Chains A and B, each alone.
Chain A
Amino acid sequence: MKPDAATSFTFPVRPHGKFLATREPAKLVLRELQDKIPANTYTLVIDFTGVDAMTHSYCDEFLARYYATLASTGNNSDSTDRSPATVLLTGLEEDVRETITICLERSDLIALEDRDGQPFVLAASAVLNETFEAARQLGTFTALQLAERMRVTAPNANNRLKRLVAARALLRRPGVAERGGKEFTYAVPELSPRETTAV
């Protein structure tokens, strides 16, 4: 599933500081992010290029709140959901990545990172990472196919997929099963090349 390049939107964090420290400014940045995402944005890229350090408090007020909002809107196949189908973090320095990972882990959240064109799921458990890796190998797939591949039950596979979809780390599209009835297909988002619209 290739995103439409025209609907990608990049939010650079660097204009808000090289060293991101306290909660109050983080709240304003989150508000700005939410206000600036154009309607029908398919891929949102939150770009940390040039940010040298970020505190846990800042990350909590900015990213953890945003991902919590995404998780609460459920999944991206809901026709009422206007949030992006894919959300990517890029430009992470090692220390910033570590802060984000710890912060999201504490809130039981995960996020997809584009690291030099390769996708990584931050703050994910070993089980979720294995699931994401299996998803990458499968390409476009159904929950049943993933369950077979990972030798787990279908409900178990569904639960894992739900978390990845909620974090916008995996795309989900409704379809019709061969035997009739509703069936979703899943895919790992393609990361590059990506045309972006910066603020």
Chain B
Amino acid sequence: MLDGVQIELAGRIPLQHAELVTRYIEDQDTLLLDTRSLRWASPLELAALVTIGTDAAHQGRDVRLQLPYDEKVTSYLGRMNVIDLLEEAGCKFDGSPLATGRRDRRDTLFEVTKVTTADSQQVAERLGEMAFGRLGRKAGAAAFKAMSELLDNATTHGVSDVGAFTAAQLLTGVTSNWPGFAFTVCDAGVGIFEHLRASAPHQDLVDSRAALERALQHKVSGVPGGNRRGYGLGDLGKYARSDGGGRLIIRSNGAVASVVLRSECKINYSTFTAPMNGTWASLRVRRT
């Protein structure tokens, strides 16, 4: 028997600002995803919902999504594949998913998509086309490389039966107040702590927070003999800063790192308790 858990996502882009709000519920073996008060979702909330729901269903939990009161938000969850993917995983819905008439927005929206090692190149091609098409060659290349380094981490180090889920959005600035892009990839793998601890140089790590701190250092890799690796996260900061700066949020198991990507990187670490497996990486970059 697994504990029954409710995870609440409420307000505007809640995972960009706060940690997962979770509480235990009486229904054993149940995961209740409460999005009733969700008012605005970024790629992070969308991909995280699908990943955590799919992972819980894979573990044998009953997964239920309580749909948003705001029909526009519900419609957006449908438009961005969240409802289809959760339904595919066996999730039930409280409320009625609205039929979505989809306009072709492939130039700005990348719906939540499952990504594996085998199809990462196809996903990257679409992200590249989107980034170059909307941001131009220079900023597009920086955005593509930043997104792809995160994608590579998720599909190589975060491998699981569930796979990883990614989503992206290019922002014009009209509703978000700033132009740029937002990208997320969430996996349900072992997480950074277990991944690093599997290699000899990192067996001194004691918890997820320490592992995140280590992972964000230059030239750190959990791959045995990976002396040419460990540049990805550092490069990502460089790409983001070459554009206009931004923020990278990495959640892995019970720890969060929030990295402000400006001329100097500022990193805040915190911990939380939630039944979350794997690693979620979210990057938001402003264009100058």
In the complex the two chains form, is B235's CB within 8 Å of A52's CB? no
The residues of A that contact B148 with a CB separation of less than 8 Å are 19, 21-22, 55, 57-58
Expressed in whole angstroms, the Cα–Cα distance for A56 and B138 within the complex equals 16
CB distance from B67 to the nearest CB of A (A): 34
A113 CA to B156 CA, complexed, in Å: 31
Least CB distance, A133 to chain B, in whole angstroms:
29
Known: A53-B144, A55-B148. A25 touches B121 (CB 8 A): yes
A107 interface residue per 8 A CB criterion = yes
Chain B residues within an 8 Å CB radius of A20: 121, 124
Total CB contacts across the A-B interface at under 8 A: 83
Q: Using an 8 Å CB-CB cutoff, how does the interface string of B107-130 with A read, 1 for contact, 0 for none?
A: 000000000011011011101110
Q: Which residue of A lies closest to B138 (CB)?
A: A95
Take A21-B121, A25-B121 as given contacts and tell me if A60 and B145 are in contact as well, using a CB distance cutoff of 8 Å.
no
Q: Tell me if A55 and B149 are in contact (CB < 8 A).
A: yes
A21 surroundings in chain B (CB, below 8 A): 120-121, 123-124, 127-128, 144, 148, 151-152
* Cross-chain contact B149 with A57 (CB below 8 angstroms): yes
In the complex, which residue of chain A has the Cβ closest to the Cβ of B154? A22
Instruction: State A25–B228 Cα separation when bound (angstroms).
Output: 18
Q: Which residues of A contact B117 (CB under 8 A)?
A: 22, 24
Q: Is the CB of B124 within 8 A of A95?
A: no
- Contact status A23-B124, CB under 8 Å: no
What separation, in Å, do the CA atoms of A163 and B230 have in the docked complex?
Answer: 26
Instruction: Produce 1/0 per residue, A1-32, CB < 8 A to B.
Output: 00000000000000011111111110000000
Q: Are B152 and A55 in contact (CB under 8 A)?
A: yes
Cβ-closest chain B residue relative to A24: B117
Would you give the shortest CB distance from A30 to chain B, in whole angstroms?
Answer: 14
Chain A residues contacting B125 (CB-CB under 8 Å) are 17-19
Minimum distance in angstroms from B219 CB to a CB of chain A = 9
Interface size class of A (residues with CB under 8 A): 20 to 34
A53 and B232 contacting across the interface, CB-CB below 8 Å: no
Name the A residues within 8 Å of B69 (CB-CB). Answer: none
- Name the B residues within 8 Å of A58 (CB-CB): 148
A102 vs B128: C-alpha distance when bound (angstroms): 21
Q: Which of A22, A60, A64, A93 lies in contact with B124, CB distance below 8 A?
A: A22
Specify which chain A residues have a CB less than 8 angstroms from the CB of B120 in the assembled complex: 21-22, 24-25
Q: A17-B125, A24-B120 are in contact. Are A106 and B155 (CB under 8 A)?
A: no
Contact of A107 among B129, B132, B228 (CB under 8 A): B228
Q: B12 at interface (Cβ–Cβ under 8 A)?
A: no
Which residues of A are found within 8 Å of B118, using beta-carbon distances?
Answer: 24
21 A-B residue pairings within 8 Å (CB atoms): A19-B125, A21-B120, A21-B127, A22-B121, A22-B124, A24-B117, A24-B118, A24-B120, A24-B155, A52-B128, A52-B132, A52-B137, A53-B132, A55-B145, A55-B152, A57-B232, A58-B148, A60-B228, A60-B229, A95-B141, A106-B231
Where the two chains meet, the residues of A that have a C-beta atom closer than 8 Å to any C-beta of B are 16-25, 52-53, 55-58, 60, 64, 93, 95, 99, 106-107
B: which residues have CB within 8 A of A? 117-118, 120-121, 123-125, 127-129, 132, 137-138, 140-141, 144-145, 148-149, 151-152, 155-156, 228-229, 231-232, 235
Given contacts A22-B121, A55-B145, 20 further A-B contacts (CB under 8 A): A16-B121, A19-B124, A19-B125, A19-B129, A19-B148, A20-B124, A21-B123, A21-B127, A22-B155, A24-B117, A24-B120, A52-B140, A53-B141, A53-B144, A56-B145, A56-B231, A56-B232, A57-B232, A93-B137, A107-B228
